[in-house]
Amino acid sequence: MLAEYTPDGWRERVVAFILRWTLRLLLKPVFSPRFSVAFQRRWLEALSRIAIQQRGVRREAGEVAGVRGEWFRRDGPALRAGTLLYLHGGAYCVGSTATHRALTARIAWATGLPVFSADYRLAPEHPFPAGLEDALAAYRALRAQGPVVVAGDSAGGGLTLALALALRDAGDPPPAGLWLLSPWADLVVPDPPPPEPPGEAMLSVAWAQVCARLYLFGASALSGERPQPELEAEFAVRVLDPLVSPMRGDLGRLPPVLIQCGTDELLHPMALALHDALLQAGNPSVRCEVTRHRWHVFQMHVHALPSADQAVDRAARFLLEQIDAQHPPGGSAEEPEDREVVILGAGMSGLCMAAGLLREGRRDFVILEKQPGLGGTWWDNRYPGAHVDVPAPVYSFSFAPNPRWSRRFASAPEIQRYMQALAERLGLLPHLRLRTRLVRAQFDADSGRWILETEAGQTLRARFFVCSTGPLNQPRWPEIEGLERYAGERLHSARWDDSVAVAGRRVGVIGTGSTASQLIPPMAAQAARLHVFQRTANWVLPRLDRRYGALDRVLAQFPPYARAVRTFWIAVLEWGRKGFDEGTLARRGMLRAARALRERQIADPTLRERLTPPYPLGCKRIIYSNEYYPALAQPHVELVTEPIVRITERGIVTADGQERALDVLICATGFDTVHLLSSVEVRGREGLRLSDAWAKGPEAYLGVSVAGFPNFFLLLGPNTATGHTSTLLYIEPEVEHVLACMSAVRAGEHRAIEVRAEAQRRWNERLQSRLAGSVWSLCRSWYRMENGRIVALFPGFTAEYVRAVRRPNWADYTLA
């Protein structure tokens, strides 16, 4: 698989310009046959001292199987088994652990793995196979202790590949994965030599040719001891050895490989050729990442060059995935893995909780996520047109503003990228356990620990258990007769499959809520015929969207401006909350805007009437869209308001007896927001099941703590959803509350903290009393249960909830 990345941003361009010319002026002239190898080594080490070093990583000299090198270990506890062996570049003649410290320390920080950077023997003093022998010895010693991933740049990348071939042929356990940075995988120079790319900042063909001969023959390559024709003839044979030029060998049966290179380097074509050769040899798990306008091993400039950091973070994800595939982290029932905190869910609230723990210097935590990537709602909801329905400046954390939003209402992929970048910037990748489904959690009163079991059989023991799954994680399929018999292609908006084609086909969409309003316009643009099945019309207001330009993004990088924009939109959204109360100016304005939008965009009075909601504004979630009504007004789109009777193998039958044939059926029917955590068996004190405690509906104190469940916390729990503003404004104070509770347990050397049942009862009685007389009680919606109890929404304004939750009232808790 080939992937291309294009760096952008003015800071990136300025830094790249400076670095490129620094290399051209200070390094490339020295990497030349005119200078001795000894001088090149000293010069490279001197230049490497100006590199920005990674904080939070310990460095110490070490030796593995007689091979000297340096260990790089991230501060904090080890979060998984495994080691990374790094083989530095330098054309087999120069380079050392010292010249690569910035990069190897950054890898150790990004992966959380201990990194051994090997100072393997170099030519001309120690020609081939000395370096390979050192790499083999170090790998075998490390592999005896657990899984190993191997990485190397330039000549180190070629050596990494040669190591994998030698291990395969010897029958040794293979590395879990290989990361090759601009690998020099073939020492054969074509005749005529390839032209040097205009952007090449470091390498030259002449220098590479000299180093190749030094690698094979040592000092005799330049001493004149042997006739040149004889030397060249022998070189032409020996350079074809697969352990010298791995691309010349059998590349089959190798572990997963990640190749990274830049377009402006001499070895760019070689990286592409290696990618193709690995695929042709039958290795399916091969990925080649090409970064445009970047030079040889640009990853060396981590901390200075954003594209270098991004490349290393992508590699860290790859390496951890390979380690976990070979050796899944987690303990057993007999020997559980001990952690201070386990966080369930890697969505917005899970990331915020992790960020809070890191701010307090707490690193002993893991995040369990059932999906293969982080993002929560924004990983699940990847249907066409998915976007947030509040302005993006409010949909980023106060401690991590995002100046790179492309428009005011950000798309789902853009939000997921923000979350991924935040996780990488905070160093959360080592804490993540992806594809890990929790099935049971039991509180042990004797030890004050939670015992957690995963679907794969791993067992963890944690002092604190934080559930950050939120209400929007369990898709709800419609309860319609015959759904399972439908023979066409069936999709749920929260489990979208991009491989299902809709272009030119007959498509049916069940649902007209917020998700459907985003999904329907792109479906209408592709489908030959689109049938939209509506149970109840929804209130639709215009979305005040616009694209952000270069000036917006520049201004957003200035904190005072970014804070002012965020504050403005928070105020606007809070004003919108008044629209849920009868008789307010805000409500009158919202009603007029909804009516004007409907009349302006729907010319057909009959269709307009069918799209007029029969319930008060705000009772259900409001839709903000400029494209929804125009999509429904298109001639090939049908709004069906007759109730659905059943689903057949061919399509949908409505109450009027008509059957509409469909090729693709899309259920935009939202989530099960009532049966929170129903997929996990949670037992608290004295074996109390959470499902039993919530038999009449989920409830919690402040939406955070549940009586009978010590050291257990919810983020975006019952009655914390908001119908008017960003959930992030609720998540941040909830995290502060949880951190304060954890600190109280530690400070008092207690075993557990638990909310008092009376405090939880008082809080929820007040909530339900307020909600009973609100607009949300006047219709059926995902906010409420069948018995009428509203379990999702908080009835007040944001400031009210923040004041209540930010600092715990210790009188409402017991510490044991």
Give the residue numbers marked as catalytic: 154
Q: What angle do CA 361, 367, 369 make, to 5 degrees?
A: 160
Which residue from 324, 510, 350 is spatially nearest to 433, judged by alpha carbons?
324
What are the structure tokens assigned to 555, written together? 């201004």
Contact 17, 201 (CB under 8 A): no
Beta-sheet pairing, 449-454 with 459-467 = antiparallel
Q: Collapsing DSSP states into helix, strand and coil, what is residue 262? A: strand
Taking CB atoms within 8 Å and a gap of at least 24, the contacts of 45-51 are 45/96, 45/98, 45/99, 48/98, 48/99, 48/100, 48/101, 48/102, 51/101, 51/102, 51/300, 51/301, 51/303, 51/304
Whole-Å CA distances, 577 to 10, 589, 795? 39, 12, 10
The C-alpha atoms of residue 269 and residue 271 are separated, in whole angstroms, by 5
Stated as kind and residue range, the H or E segment containing 664 is: strand 664-667
CA distance linking residue 66 with residue 73, whole number of Å: 20
Q: Which two tokens stand for residue 635?
A: 């001639």
How many other β-carbons are positioned within 10 Å of the β-carbon of residue 523? 24
The dihedral region occupied by 686, where left means phi > 0, alpha psi between -120 and 50, and beta the remainder, is left
Q: Where are the alpha helices (DSSP H) in 366-446?
A: 377-380, 412-426
- Report the distance separating Cα 655 and Cα 804, nearest Å: 49
Give CA 696 to chain center in angstroms: 36
Residue 774 near residue 795 (C-beta atoms within 8 A)? yes
